[in-house]
Amino acid sequence: MTIQTLSLFLSLAAVAALAAVFLRVRLLAPAGRDYPVVQADAYRLRGLSFWVLVLVGLPVTVWLLRETPYEAKATEPQVVNVSSAMWYWDLDRDTVEAGRPVEFHVTSTDVNHGFGLYDPSGRLVAQTQAMPGYINVLTHVFEEEGTYRVLCLEYCGLVHHGMETALTVTATGGGNG
Amino acid sequence: MADARTSAGIADRGRTWIVLYLATAGVVILLMMVFGLVMRLAQSEWIALDPAFYYQLLTVHGIGMVGIAALGGVAVLWHYLSAHVALRPAALAINLVLFMLGVAMILWAVFIGGFAPAWTFLYPLPAVGSSNGQWQAWSAVLDLTGVLLIGVGFLILCLEMGRGIVAAYGGLGRGLGWHVLFAGSKEKVPPPTVVAGTMVVIVTTLALIAGATIVAMTILNVLFPALAIDPLIAKNMIYFFGHTFINATIYMAVVVVYELLPRITGRPWKTSKVFLAGWTLSTTMVLVIYPHHLLMDFAMPGWALAIGQVLSYVNSLPVLVVTGLGALAILHRSGISWDVVSTLLLIAMFGWMAGVIPAVVDATISVNYVMHNTMWVPGHFHFYLLLGLLPMIFAFMLHLARGEDVAAHGGDLSALLYLGFGLGFVAMFLLGGWASVPRRWAVHLPEWLVWDRIAAVMAVGVVVLATVFVVTFLLRIPRILRHG
């Protein structure tokens, strides 16, 4: 399951659960009950929700920090230097090998752009910002061969949607790395 | 219960201005919604639009919606805060004049001068776009000066509300109820509206100072390109301003929930220590979590990005546990009959709480890596603005339109339809994000059109129902002013 699909399912499940609570409140609102009784139940639920969110959710979000794209150091990576400007990508090589880490050194010569890598099925698999004055190092291991699209993911002016290039991922390798 | 309910109007000394604020907000909301609909129709390929014009609409839609969210939110907050704190309506007048002037300048700059850097105006796009002929340099200066004027107006308003709270309660700390929270005092306990107002004053003032600074620096850069700014610092300032300011607008508007639900149900919303702790936490969190907008800026310090993820999650707790559950408890088995106002308030709490969920998901770095700047992002903020903030403002408008009478009036079909179309509209953004559709693209690929087309249909429904709410309010203005 992709991260996108997992994110969608988790979000939908949580929103649906919340909607069920609201629906219950809506349906039962016309039936009156003494507020102190309702309030006591609500306080219990509030305490329970709070501790579940703290004791379960907080460790989970901290645990998720173990995987970030920032510290991905690879041995013998294939290096691709990426320069961007309105409205084109300039890659110093257009072919890389699947199964081996690729280090993209991404920068911009004018404004902010967004370096977004799309796999052959059209799914976004990795990204970083391309900023003037900075080089962002993005490490990615391509799992599938094929033609990947590079699209701009940061608004950069009137032809933002036309800023695109391609990267070929081969099974056998595309250069010296 | 029902017999405890009252229809007490609020002794608001700025009532005429509040009505003007709401009327302005209502008209601009509809205009901005139509701009949004046109953008979705263009992405659907159902109408042909020059991409340059699309990006102009994008720019105006973004900054315009932020502006009217603040205008509507301020109207709600001022109306109820002025019942607890002496405020000078002159600040409302100054802000509205500066707002109108700023809006006129922005519209002129965008539609005549062609300025289209999106609301984010990320440095150095305004200057580079001027130098390479995308728009006129004067339009960049005019637009940003308009934004600056609007910011100054809201800053004056915040300072006046802060002055009023300090004068009435003895300090902003006491406005947040710290003497109750930390010292156990039972003296002069601030009501929820004052607590929310104090939080808004603190965070909005800081946001506006940062925003005004980066806008002024960008204007100087357009005029004198040699005056360069560090792009990463500029981006931090812009997102600190934008994130904090738009979040503050919902903290302004939620006051209508605190004020109206007790009147409708006859159940009080008291200031408890949990409530105060929640608002103090929100005050802090809103100021420090903005780096979740910069998770794909790998040059940022790692600790700042980790804070952006973890504290974004923590920031959801007060919304979900304190305000959300508080509202549900007041409504649960309260014996009320639903009408359009109470249903809009219920929808507002749902929209706010549910909108937090995709936001927290996207603030997770490993998710942001493949979701940032896709349609998922407008999905989550449309969720809590369209279904959270706007229903609060519409409920306030309709409440004033019926003379602040809290007895149930008529049905609530319009509110339920608004929820249905709104959910459909928002879902298409989220599904677009799931499908990796980039945000802010004037032209879409054929495989993305399905989400755009369903969204466009849903948007028509949203616009129609929003028009019903706004027109109902506008038609009642003479009566509101007569009875005020």
Domain final position from A66, A89, A104: A66
Residue A141 DSSP SS3? strand
Interface test with B, best of A71, A107, A160 (most B CBs within 10 A): A160
B133 inside 8 A of chain A by CB: no
- The full 3-state SS of chain B, as one line of letters, equals CHHHCCCCCCCCCCHHHHHHHHHHHHHHHHHHHHHHHHHHHHHCCCCCCCHHHHHHHHHHHHHHHHHHHHHHHHHHHHHHHCCCCCCCCHHHHHHHHHHHHHHHHHHHHHHCCCCCCCCCCCCCHHHHHHHCCCCCHHHHHHHHHHHHHHHHHHHHHHHHHHHHHHHHHCCHHHHCCHHHHCCCCCCCCCCHHHHHHHHHHHHHHHHHHHHHHHHHHHHHHHHCCCCCCCHHHHHHHHHHHHHHHHHHHHHHHCHHHHHHHHHHHCCCCCCCHHHHHHHHHHHHHHHHCHHHHCCCCCCCCHHHHHHHHHHHHHHHHHHHHHHHHHHHHHHCCCCCCCCHHHHHHHHHHHHHHHHHHHHHHHCCHHHHHHHCCECHHHHHHHHHHHHHHHHHHHHHHHHHHCCCCCCCCCCCHHHHHHHHHHHHHHHHHHHHHHCCCECCCCCCCHHHHHHHHHHHHHHHHHHHHHHHHHHHHHHHHHHHHHHC
pLDDT at A61 over 60: yes
- Segment B212-238 shows an average pLDDT of 97
CATH number of the domain that residue A96 is part of: 2.60.40.420
B314 inside 8 A of chain A by CB: yes
- Segment B464-478 shows an average pLDDT of 97
Q: For residue A168, what are the β-bridge partners?
A: A95, A147
- Interface touch B434/A154, C-beta < 8 Å: no
Judgement on whether residues A48 and A114 belong to the same structural domain of the protein: no
Domain final position from A66, A89, A106: A66
Q: Please, what's the b/e burial string for B374-383 (b: 16 or more CB within 10 A of its CB; e: otherwise)? A: bbbbbbbbbb
Backbone angles phi, psi at B127, to 5 degrees: -75, -40
Judgement on whether residues A58 and A98 belong to the same structural domain of the protein: no
Judgement on whether residues A108 and A165 belong to the same structural domain of the protein: yes
A44 inside 8 A of chain B by CB: no
B303 pLDDT band (50/70/90 cuts)?
A: very high
**A118 closest CB neighbour out of B58, B129, B436:** B436
| B432-451 per-position pLDDT tens digit | 999 999 999 999 999 999 99
Interface of A with B in 115-174 (CB under 8 A): 116, 118, 122-129, 131-138, 151-162
| B346-381 per-position pLDDT tens digit | 999 999 999 999 999 999 999 999 999 999 999 999
Judgement on whether residues A49 and A129 belong to the same structural domain of the protein: no
pLDDT of residue B322: 87
Give the count of alpha carbons within 13 A of B248, CB side only: 32
Residue A177 lies in a domain: no
Residue A73 lies in a domain: no
| B109-134 per-position pLDDT tens digit | 999 999 999 999 999 999 999 999 99
Lowest mean pLDDT among A171-175, B298-302, B332-336: A171-175
Question: Mean pLDDT over all residues of chain A?
Answer: 93
Judgement on whether residues A83 and A162 belong to the same structural domain of the protein: yes
pLDDT of residue A177: 40
- Segment B96-101 shows an average pLDDT of 96
Judgement on whether residues A91 and A166 belong to the same structural domain of the protein: yes
A75 pLDDT band (50/70/90 cuts)?
A: confident
Q: Which strands make up the sheet holding A164-170, listed edge to edge?
A: A95-97, A164-170, A146-152, A113-118, A124-130
Residue A71 lies in a domain: no
Percent of residues, chain B, with pLDDT higher than 70: 97
- Segment A40-57 shows an average pLDDT of 90
B316 pLDDT band (50/70/90 cuts)?
A: confident
pTM: 0.94
Residue A175 lies in a domain: no
- Give the C-alpha separation, A177 to A20, whole Å: 54
pLDDT at B483 over 80: no
Residue A135 lies in a domain: yes
Residue A147 lies in a domain: yes
Judgement on whether residues A95 and A152 belong to the same structural domain of the protein: yes
| B11-25 per-position pLDDT tens digit | 666 789 999 999 999
Q: Is the peptide bond before B303 cis (omega within 30 degrees of 0)?
A: no
pLDDT at B4 over 70: no
- Give the C-alpha separation, A155 to B35, whole Å: 18
Residue A72 lies in a domain: no
Judgement on whether residues A92 and A154 belong to the same structural domain of the protein: yes
Using a CB-CB distance cutoff of 8 angstroms, which residues of chain A are in contact with residue B367? 3, 7
pLDDT of residue B318: 83
pLDDT at B3 over 70: no
A25 inside 8 A of chain B by CB: yes
Judgement on whether residues A118 and A154 belong to the same structural domain of the protein: yes
Judgement on whether residues A159 and A103 belong to the same structural domain of the protein: yes
User: Terminus-to-terminus CA distance in chain B, angstroms?
Assistant: 27
Residue A124 lies in a domain: yes
Q: Is the peptide bond before B438 cis (omega within 30 degrees of 0)?
A: no
CB-based contact B63:B119 (threshold 8 Å): yes
Going along chain B from its start, the domains and CATH numbers come out as 2-483 (1.20.210.10)
Domain final position from A13, A46, A66: A66
B1 pLDDT band (50/70/90 cuts)?
A: very low
Judgement on whether residues A60 and A83 belong to the same structural domain of the protein: no
- Segment B466-484 shows an average pLDDT of 91
Backbone angles phi, psi at A5, to 5 degrees: -70, -40
Structurally, chain A folds into a number of domains equal to 2
Judgement on whether residues A42 and A103 belong to the same structural domain of the protein: no
Using a CB-CB distance cutoff of 8 angstroms, which residues of chain A are in contact with residue B336? 29-30
pLDDT at B5 over 90: no
A8 inside 8 A of chain B by CB: yes
Domain that holds residue A19: 3-66
Q: Compute the C-alpha angle B449/B450/B456, nearest 5°.
A: 85
Q: Which strands make up the sheet holding A101-108, listed edge to edge?
A: A88-91, A78-85, A101-108, A136-141
- Give the C-alpha separation, A45 to A42, whole Å: 5
pLDDT at B58 over 50: yes
Strands A101-108 and A78-85: parallel
Q: Compute the C-alpha angle B429/B435/B439, nearest 5°.
A: 50
The owner of tokens 């028509």 is B460
Question: Mean pLDDT over all residues of chain B?
Answer: 94
Interface test with A, best of B373, B387, B452 (most A CBs within 10 A): B373
